[in-house]
Structure 1
Amino acid sequence: MKNKDEIKQEIYELAQKISGTSSDSFLLEAAREIYEKAVLLKHADENPSPATAKKEEQIISAPEEYIKPEILPKDPSEQSVKQTTIDLFSSETAQTKAPPLPPSPEKPAPKERKESKKKTTESVAEKLQHNKITDLKASIGINEKFQFINELFEGNMKEYNVAVDQINSFVSYSEAESYISNLEEIYKWQADNQIAENFKELVQRRFA
């Protein structure tokens, strides 16, 4: 069987002949021969000859020269340092106790801290809630305003404004209280109406 170099040379010669002729029949025949030789070349690559394979196997399986590592003699000074380090942590040294740490102050339980924080928050909120106000209309927020209009004045904004202005004009809480009693009868406020209670509380703060 021809080796790969011979097959490559034949393919090269056929290619040279093709470039120098214009005969269709010759071109067809030369192309067929080139194809066959290319198949042979591929087969030679995939299936090398036994001699070549054996040679490659011998190259691969050749054992490498084993170099035995050189064992250096131990340094006496190094061994002495190691022994000294071990002595530092001997049983006699381990018996030495560090001075006790002072006891840390006891921390309040989480529940106690939460209750203390809650009481502080509530006391601040109560103070803010019961602070005196000088202008009733200015102290009513937008959400409260619409609640009062819809729930206490049957959705009539004009009557709400008249009532608030009238309460602001009073000098004493007794005058405002009497006026609110009339409003309760006119608009039929329920005794358990929380929105009405909020409105009355604001009036009380106005005259606190």
Structure 2
Amino acid sequence: MSENGSLRRGRPGYDQQGILDVAVAAFNQYGYDATSMGVLADRLGLSKSAIYHHFASKDEILDRALDTALGALEGVLEEAAHPELVDGAAPRRAADRLDHVLRGAVHVLVEKLPYVTLLLRVRGNTEVERRALARRRAFDKRVTALVSEAQAEGSLRSDIDVRVVERLLFGMINSIVEWYRPGGAEDADRLADDVIAIALDGLRMPTSNRVQELLG
């Protein structure tokens, strides 16, 4: 970036974000290791030196791409943890916060589909990838803790291990990258409703059971 924080521009039509979008598409198509700077230069119609004007290395491009996906997902968790910062509402039940995280994750996936697809393909072959995986694990742990809190408050059934619940929920959400196509019949809101209906509603504690538990 330039000193004033704006995106540097090279040839017309290619700022850092434009190069990043093209690079992410190439990484998803060919794989990160198989995508050289020469391949990126060919796809962009730029010289390699023009790319280096924006990014110091291919690793920096990957790091920026993975941070885009992870930052958006972490932002959803922060909104759930601090609902008063979002809509001024009082703190919500854990189950409501979990609902918010799942819906938000679906929106992130739809809005940043190529970036999340790349994130889900990371295997830890480089230091950049290992840092991304560590952030993913931290995200998963926070969601697991939220599931545990929802079980403890009696909102979710407690006969399923919290780690299994988290993996099943995000296994479903993450699988969306394999078949979802932008511009299809379902937008992000409808898709989030469907995920909640299939995944979370089946975990909710029936009202009669919650009353019995409260009465002892």
Q: Normalized against structure 2, the TM-score is what?
A: 0.23
Greater CA radius of gyration, 1 or 2?
1
Name the structure, 1 or 2, with higher relative contact order (CA <8 Å, separation 6+).
Answer: 2
Q: Normalized against structure 1, the TM-score is what?
A: 0.23
